């Protein structure tokens, strides 16, 4: 649980951040004053699929202030480097759609060199992972992301 304050009661992510919804597998891996990072539910993607969620209730990049934009870019670089290493990813797809939940969140989906499909064919598969693997990876990601730079 990150905060007891619910910015928007109608928003799933605001309620999730306040602990009012099921928490992500492995909990929140990283948080700072602008962003929260967690692993996706096991039925939403392959091992290493991460969500980056804004703390503020903003819709997209147009709503971000300069500090949020800068910190988002820095966080992306760290996530790409660490996720490539720990998830053995050849590529990491970054997806921002915001259709289901009007609160900024982006998906990071690792594709390994052993995956047969690439691009949209890869993303269109029924991708899943195992909870025990998520818990182990979440711990490793938490350790690396929260280590002083």
| Domain extents in the chain | 27-145
pTM: 0.88
- Residue of 52, 19, 39, 53 whose CA lies nearest to 130: 39
Helix locations, 4-125, DSSP H = 12-17, 66-86, 119-123
Q: Compute CA distances 127 → 40, 76, 78, 88, 118, whole Å.
A: 11, 22, 24, 16, 13
Query: Topology of domain 27-145, per CATH?
Result: HIT family, subunit A (3.30.428)
Residue-wise pLDDT for 21-62, tens only, equals 778 888 899 999 999 999 999 999 999 999 999 999 999 999
Burial (0-12, 13-18, 19+ Cβ within 10 Å), 91: middle
pLDDT band at 5 (very low <50, low <70, confident <90, very high): low
Percent of the chain predicted with pLDDT > 70: 95
C-alpha span between 47 and 23 (Å, rounded): 17
Q: Give the whole-angstrom CA distance, residue 63 versus residue 85.
A: 32
Beta-carbon count within 10 A of 70 CB: 12
User: Would you say residue 115 has pLDDT above 70?
Assistant: yes
């Amino acid at each position: 649980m990150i905060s007891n304050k619910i910015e928007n009661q109608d928003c799933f992510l605001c309620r999730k951040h306040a602990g009012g919804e099921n928490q992500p597998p492995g909990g929140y891996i990283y948080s700072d004053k602008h962003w929260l990072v967690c692993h996706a539910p096991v039925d939403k993607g392959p091992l290493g699929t991460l969500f980056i969620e804004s703390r503020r209730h903003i819709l997209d990049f147009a709503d971000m202030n300069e500090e949020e934009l800068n910190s988002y870019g820095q966080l992306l670089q760290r996530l790409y480097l660490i996720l490539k290493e720990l998830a053995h990813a050849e590529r990491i797809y970054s997806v921002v759609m915001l259709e289901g939940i009007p609160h900024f969140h982006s998906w990071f989906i690792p594709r390994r060199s052993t995956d047969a499909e690439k691009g949209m064919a890869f993303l269109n598969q029924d991708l899943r992972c195992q909870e025990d693997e998520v818990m182990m990876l979440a711990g490793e990601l938490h350790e690396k992301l929260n280590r002083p730079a």
